[in-house]
Amino acid sequence: MRNISRQDCAILDRRDPLAGFRDEFDIPAGMIYFDGNSLGPPPRAALIRAKEVLEKEWGEGLVKSWNTANWFQLPRTLGDKVAKIIGADQGEVLLTDSTSINLHKVLSAAVSLRPRRRVILMESGNFPTNNYIAQGLAAQLNRRLEIRFTDSVSIADAIDESVAVVCLTHVHYISGSILDMAAITAKTRQAGALSVWDLCHSAGVVPVDVNACKVDFAVGCTYKYLNGGPGSPAFLFVARRHNGRARQPLTGWWGHADPFAFERDYRPAHDVRQMLSGTQPILSMAVAEAGLDICLRADTTSVREKSRKLTGLFIDLIGERCSGFGFTLASPLDSARRGSHVSLEHDQAYGIVQALISRQVVGDFRAPSNIRLGFAPLFISYTDVWDAVERLLEVMKDGQWRRPNHAPPNTVT
């Protein structure tokens, strides 16, 4: 078979039904941005919205805007938008706080619904904050909770009747492997345990249907593929069947049944609002809506199809053009099992990532030896992938990654 050419990529771009979305984002000219899986770029609509919320809603409306601009309802109204993206019903999702904090809340709620069981089952290679939050919760609860770690292939076998909660990430943050949410959640239910899914690397790019899978709880962030902005509020899903019973411990006034009655004692809201704690970062939240609206307009099937093709193209091009440079693929070869980012392992990964960044190809380094590139289908084109591989080849050929200015690590990789 003949090798892939840049012309082949240009043809794919011309036929791409999502090509028009590229112009909705403000990305520096010349930059190829493969970090949409870490911090999505700003939608142009977000820049307009930011000005409006600062000048009009905050500046002119001041405190009235809690009502006139519906600020108080934003966790619900934006939660309803996320619900459509993850297969939840209206009223089951909130936008609030961070993923870490939401994980603490839903994990607390879940373990308290299984008071006689002692195990939280997690994947050992998961994004560390999830492990840390579970460990902190176990230390706090004083009921001899055990965090049991398993590797990704042994999850189903590790689910038994000692398990209270199975807490997993749908798309792995380094490898991009997708776990079988339907099968694992079914096994979890059979064992009488509850499921908590982290959708950070799925929401907006890999189809998710939490209710079809009968998931109990889910969390995820909006600053990755949902382009909400740095530190934009995360989301949280609680299946409606748990309303009135699932209780989280950060019992602030926003989670009260009647916040503006200012009662002395806490009385929980009987729906998902119990998962709220206090006043929300309204500026950040208002701006995040622009990214959600873009995602809702994009056809899910086309997004998934393009994502599989982009990551596949990259893997093929690395195979064709960069063999002999010491790269190994650390992501599934089968695109059905792969999310929207690809990891390559190389013992000089940090230097290579820095050299690529200096050539306007922005990806990230994940310790100890991974080059991780995210292929966000709404703004990455097939020719972008071609051009990035071309620049990678240049970097490898001229040994640029060996230069000492690429050696000292930054704080944020």
Ligand X SMILES: *Cc1c(COP(=O)(O)O)cnc(C)c1O
Catalytic residue flag (residue 350)? no
Nearest distance in Å: CB 102, ligand X: 8
Query: Which residues have a Cβ under 8 Å from the Cβ of 271 and sit 6 or more positions away?
Result: 91, 240, 243, 244
Query: Which residues have a Cβ under 8 Å from the Cβ of 375 and sit 6 or more positions away?
Result: 34, 36, 307, 310, 311, 314, 340, 341, 342, 385
Catalytic residue flag (residue 224)? yes
| Cβ closest to ligand X, residue 224 vs residue 359 | 224
| Cβ closest to ligand X, residue 235 vs residue 314 | 235
Catalytic residue among 76, 273, 338, 372: 372
Nearest distance in Å: CB 172, ligand X: 8
Catalytic residue among 117, 187, 224, 308: 224
Nearest distance in Å: CB 200, ligand X: 3
Nearest distance in Å: CB 100, ligand X: 3
Instruction: Tell me which residues touch ligand X (CB under 6 A).
Output: 98-100, 127, 129-130, 169, 173, 198, 200-201, 221, 234
Catalytic residue among 72, 127, 149, 325: 127
Complete DSSP assignment for 258-294? SGGG--SS--B-SSGGGG--S---HHHHHHHHHHHHH
Reduced to 3 states (helix: H, G, I; strand: E, B; else coil), residue 120 is strand
| Cβ closest to ligand X, residue 128 vs residue 326 | 128
Q: Compute the distance between CA of residue 393 and CA of residue 410 in angstroms, rounded to an integer.
A: 24
CA angle at residue 75 from 74 to 77, to 5 degrees?
60
Catalytic residue flag (residue 51)? no
Structure tokens given for 213: 């899978």
Catalytic residue among 21, 33, 173, 223: 223
Q: Compute the distance between CA of residue 91 and CA of residue 76 in angstroms, rounded to an integer.
A: 7
Nearest distance in Å: CB 331, ligand X: 15
Nearest distance in Å: CB 333, ligand X: 22
Strand (E) or helix (H) holding 362: strand 361-362
Catalytic residue flag (residue 265)? no
| Cβ closest to ligand X, residue 202 vs residue 348 | 202
Selection from 303, 388, 298 nearest residue 352 by Cα = 388
Answer yes or no: are the C-beta atoms of 284 and 96 closer than 8 Å. no
| Cβ closest to ligand X, residue 106 vs residue 395 | 106
Catalytic residue among 35, 80, 97, 198: 198
Catalytic residue flag (residue 187)? no
| H-only helix segments in 234-368 | 282-297, 300-321, 349-358
| Cβ closest to ligand X, residue 129 vs residue 152 | 129
Active site residues: 127, 198, 223-224, 372
